[in-house]
Amino acid sequence: MVGRLIYIKSFQGVRLAAKADRQQRADIPIKARRGLILDARGRIISATTLRTSVFADPQVLPDTQVAAETVARILDLDPAEIAPDLLAAGDRRFFVIKRGITEAQAEQIRAAGIYGLGTFSEPFRSYPMEELAAATIGFVSPDGTGISGIEHQCDHWLRGENGVKTIVRDARRKAFWLAEEGYRPARDGYHVVLTIDAEIQTAVESELEAGVSRFNAESGVAVVIHPHTGAVLAMANYPSFDPNHYTDFGEERYRNRVITDPYEPGSTFKPFIAAAALAENVVHPGEVFDCEHGAWTEGARTLKDHHPYDFLSFEEILIKSSNIGMGKLGLRLGNRKLYEYVTKCGFGEPTGVGLEGESEGLLRPLVRWNAFSTTSLPMGQEIGVTPMQLARSFCIFANGGKLVTPYVIRAIVDAEGRVVQDMTPPETESEPVYPPEVLDVMRKILCSVVNDSPRGAAQLPSHQVFGKTGTAQIARKDGRGYEKRAYVSSFVAGVPAENPELVAFVAIRRPDASVGYYGGQVAAPVVKEILRHSLAYLRIPGDIAPDANRATAMHEDFAD
């Protein structure tokens, strides 16, 4: 007996002491709070709060049916839906019946006094601005992990690091002491600061929705960029979704089509080729082209204009959006120069906006161009661009020829506002895509495009807008030509012309052709309202004097 005691004390003492320690001590995780997502002015777009939920321990419920009926009565649910779930969870010790109940409901649950039925608090991600920039912001899973958009992309910054505390319990396993040596505080997540301004974003989304609805269209996208820095002030998709209830919407709503969906741009692409022709001196301002009365056969196909033009100057080719005139410019440039300038303008590669899922667009290698490419590309066919690519590239005409890198995430900051990581793209020194004299000519032409618009579709009374419309046919899925009466109507613009501070782009997909489908009809008025609101909000001075007699007569030339 004595030997046995010596054995226990000597050889098993350490093991038994460790076992006792485990029974007396417990490590309790301290959950880190997820960081905020903030707009450019510090407004909260995404935050973590606490919500109350009701749970059951199915293994100890005295009567599953009574529990189901009690919960159903308090929460106004159907007990026939709750009871089967409780029975199916019979082998579990913790089953969530409903998340997000009111405090009054929680009090009633607790007052019911049913053993195995209770409430608990849990972190909950909320989006106080609801649908605002939803496809860009994304959402989190029920356990708080980012699974879409910036919530997913910046999850490692936002989630923080959990801590731990060690408690010591008595014989009844009741906690009575917090052990100092086992304590590690949680580090809450960092905050993500965006370039998006909620005020501008709200206006963009409102105008985009109105434009899509006005023409019974399928969908629309919009983006607003500061042309000198690349900061994205707004990017919108319609229809959108509410990330507070993301499971109520189809997954197609989650896609950020501003960066993921390339399309054939049509006439909004023409300024880039026209500027290339000027830069290469294959055309000079004022030069006149024979536009063949609206139909021109080149090789094995015929190009057509929307109006039977005879002779147009270089400037008029853009103002009236002549496909034939652009095709002839393409022949003068040749494939190699066309490809060179298209890539200089950033097409065929990601913009570097810093968001997941960005498409590089569609640009075939030069060796795969065919006999039609020389005349197709200048009028915005045989190439696929994303809305972000088009808007970014148009900034070239607004900032002295620089191809900027757009960005949406400005900085990662801690709770005190100290910058942990600056996300602003570094400035790079590069040659302007086009020389200054070419940019001056192009901006004047693009001002004329707007000033000749029907009923002032894109004109503003105190700020000179410059831009280009587009009415692009939608290619068939089998690659054989284009769908009938199916279009993407678009408009891209900069303002004010004297010292551009904003570039905006809108594309509306599949407007009802019986109502209207030209870019000047469908998209230009949306851009006009976006710019009007943004200029007033940002207090950007005007560059033209008020003139009650400014021309607003209807011209079919703006129809494209």
Neighbours of 465 (CB within 10 A): 29
pTM here? 0.86
Give the H/E segment covering residue 511.
Answer: none
Q: How far is CA 342 from CA 220, 240, 371, 488, 505, in A?
A: 25, 32, 18, 21, 19
pLDDT at 117: 84
More confident residue, 183 or 249: 249
Provide CB contacts within 8 A for 544, sequence distance 6+. Answer: 462, 463, 464, 496
Give the H/E segment covering residue 187.
Answer: none
Lowest-pLDDT range of 12-16, 163-167, 356-360: 12-16
Q: What is the CATH number of the domain that holds 300?
A: 3.40.710.10
pLDDT at 495: 97
The 10 Å CB-count burial string (b at 16+, else e) for 72-89 is: bebbeeebeebbeebeeb
DSSP string, 196-259: --HHHHHHHHHHHHHHHHHTT-SEEEEEEE-TTT-BEEEEEEES---GGGGGGS-GGGGS-HHH
pLDDT at 101: 87
Picking from 470, 449, 483, the residue whose alpha carbon sits closest to that of residue 523 is 470
pLDDT at 65: 87
Q: What is the DSSP letter of 16?
A: H
More confident residue, 177 or 418: 418
pLDDT at 548: 43
* pLDDT band, very low/low/confident/very high, at 10 (cuts 50, 70, 90): low
Q: What angle do CA 242, 245, 250 make, to 5 degrees?
A: 75
Q: Where are the alpha helices (DSSP H) in 362-412?
A: 373-376, 387-394
- Domain for residue 295, yes or no? yes
24 has pLDDT over 70: no
Lowest-pLDDT range of 86-100, 119-133, 355-369, 543-557: 543-557
Q: What is the pLDDT of residues 206-250, one digit of tens each?
A: 999 999 999 999 999 999 999 999 999 999 999 999 999 998 898
pLDDT at 12: 57
Mean local confidence (pLDDT), 358-387: 95
Q: What is the pLDDT of residues 263-273, one digit of tens each?
A: 999 999 999 99
CA–CA separation, 467 vs 340, rounded Å? 23
The proportion of the chain whose per-residue pLDDT surpasses 70, expressed as a percent, equals 89
- Domain for residue 62, yes or no? no
pLDDT at 119: 87
4 has pLDDT over 70: no
- Domain for residue 275, yes or no? yes
Q: Which domain holds residue 502?
A: 198-558
Residue 414: Cβ-neighbour burial (10 angstroms; 0-12, 13-18, 19+)? middle
Mean local confidence (pLDDT), 134-151: 93
* pLDDT band, very low/low/confident/very high, at 175 (cuts 50, 70, 90): very low
Computed over every residue of the chain, the mean pLDDT equals 88
For the chain, the domain total comes to 1
* pLDDT band, very low/low/confident/very high, at 97 (cuts 50, 70, 90): confident
Q: What are phi and psi of 247, to 5 degrees?
A: -70, -10
Q: What is the residue whose two structure tokens read 């490809």?
A: 339
Residue 201: Cβ-neighbour burial (10 angstroms; 0-12, 13-18, 19+)? buried
- Domain for residue 534, yes or no? yes
Q: What is the pLDDT of residues 416-426, one digit of tens each?
A: 999 999 999 98
Q: How far is CA 525 from CA 140, 469, 491, 520, 528, in A?
A: 36, 11, 9, 8, 5
pLDDT at 399: 96
Amino acid at 320: K
Provide CB contacts within 8 A for 2, sequence distance 6+. Answer: none
* pLDDT band, very low/low/confident/very high, at 479 (cuts 50, 70, 90): confident
Residue 143: Cβ-neighbour burial (10 angstroms; 0-12, 13-18, 19+)? exposed
- Domain for residue 434, yes or no? yes
Q: What is the pLDDT of residues 299-330, one digit of tens each?
A: 888 989 989 999 999 999 999 999 999 999 99
Q: Which residues lie across from 508 on neighbouring strands? A: 220, 489
Give the H/E segment covering residue 553.
Answer: none
Asked, as a colleague might, if the bond just before 541 is cis with ω within 30 of 0, I would say no
CA–CA separation, 390 vs 519, rounded Å? 15
- Domain for residue 501, yes or no? yes
Give the H/E segment covering residue 14.
Answer: helix 13-24
441 has pLDDT over 90: yes
* pLDDT band, very low/low/confident/very high, at 173 (cuts 50, 70, 90): very low
* pLDDT band, very low/low/confident/very high, at 553 (cuts 50, 70, 90): very low
Mean local confidence (pLDDT), 113-121: 84
Do residues 213 and 220 lie in contact, with contact meaning Cβ atoms separated by under 8 Å?
A: no
Q: What is the pLDDT of residues 71-89, one digit of tens each?
A: 888 888 888 888 787 777 7
Neighbours of 340 (CB within 10 A): 15
pLDDT at 181: 63
